[in-house]
Amino acid sequence: MLSNQTIAIIKSTVPVLEVHGTAITKRFYNLMFTAYPELLNMFNHANQRQGKQQNALANAVYAAALHIDKLEAILPAVKQIAHKHRSLGVKPEQYPIVGQMLLQAIKDVLGDAATEEILQAWADAYGVIANVFIETEAEMYRQSEQQQGGFADFRAFRIEKKVGESDVITSFYLVPQDGGAIPAFEPGQYVSVKMSIPGEEYTHIRQYSLSDAPGKPYYRISVKREDALPGKPEGKVSTYLHETVQEGDVLWLSAPAGDFTLDRNDERPIVLISGGVGLTPLVSMLADLSETNRTNRRVTFIHAAQHGNVHALRSQVEELAQRSPQVSVYWCYDKPTADDRANRAFDKEGYIDLPWLQSVVPTKDASFYFCGPEPFMKLVYRLLKEWGVAAADIHFEFFGPMGSLEPAAEPKETAARS
């Protein structure tokens, strides 16, 4: 337990973290990777270069400081991060390293303002927060290993089938190399793929949603090839998977993880909204709902893509809808091709807007799940808020570090002066 004095000191640093949080986390990663370069194996290097990982950690540290007297308020975020840590193979012995580097980063960025009293308070607070993560992750490791077909860390899977789904998305059907059973998973969960790429100093780990229903003798991931764009490097892993990895090759997978899953106790209508490759966890949800006949819930599936050439898994979704009268499917293309127009391959041209959404979704009294590129997710989130959908009915998944879908706040005077 933290003393009242420690809690007061931590809370007094909240305004400082709001201003300097990202600078602290940038310094933290620089220190950690310099002292422990092997930890680069666990991180998406592109997210590091783009600052996403640093911003996500800054937000997490800020939230921990803000709620240090009632850590139960951040338990949902802890569990979400813990799922990722378990999937990546984070171990308890790595937490002291993180604590040491975080305190040094605070000291380096804040200078004389980081008094011994403040640093000690943060050391005490970090110890409490780290224990929450360690205990949560230990339970997740136990559950992962003890279930039927379960395993800890990473396991070898053979690529049984490689299928091009669109010009940019390819599916990989994966079966255990040892011929054993595979763990069950909840639709919406993901696996981590650990890969050594020739010429690369460090291994790479990427997390990909499982894109088919549970209960199959395989896992399926559907991967978008991430091409280089201005300000965005080429996806090393996705390119290697698309261009080099073939059927019969072996990938190392973690057991399924993640908390972006269906609420089985909710019998109201469900709306699944995806953009681009963000359809993968939602196709898994739709396939599970349709194939198992577990529910009579009305399901509306909406997918947005640029055009038909990059639209993956369309035939599977349409087949599921044909077999399931409770499922309605709508396609939204913002840059349809001439063939798309000739074949009437889409229901709406342009971006999703609120009048159109209200015309195809029968009620806002439903559970909404959405996933896709961050600008798309911000649009959907804004539309649902404008419609008055309850916050408890809005569920989403970021591909990568946790971001924010709320509009950016106006800069504070203190931030402007810093």
Q: How far apart are CA 117 and CA 194, in angstroms?
A: 41
* Active-site residue, selected from the candidate residues 29, 62, 95, 173: 95
Determine if residue 399 is labeled as part of a ligand binding site: yes
* Active-site residue, selected from the candidate residues 126, 137, 226, 397: 137
Determine if residue 208 is labeled as part of a ligand binding site: yes
Total length of the chain: 418
Determine if residue 369 is labeled as part of a ligand binding site: no
Determine if residue 170 is labeled as part of a ligand binding site: no
Determine if residue 62 is labeled as part of a ligand binding site: no
Determine if residue 19 is labeled as part of a ligand binding site: no
Determine if residue 164 is labeled as part of a ligand binding site: no
Determine if residue 278 is labeled as part of a ligand binding site: yes
Determine if residue 155 is labeled as part of a ligand binding site: no
Determine if residue 350 is labeled as part of a ligand binding site: no
Determine if residue 279 is labeled as part of a ligand binding site: yes
- For this structure, is 137 an active site residue? yes
Determine if residue 231 is labeled as part of a ligand binding site: no
Residues annotated as catalytic are 95, 137
Annotated binding site: 85, 190, 206-209, 276-281, 398-401
Annotated binding site for heme b: 85
Annotated binding site for FAD: 190, 206-209, 398-401
Annotated binding site for NADP(+): 276-281
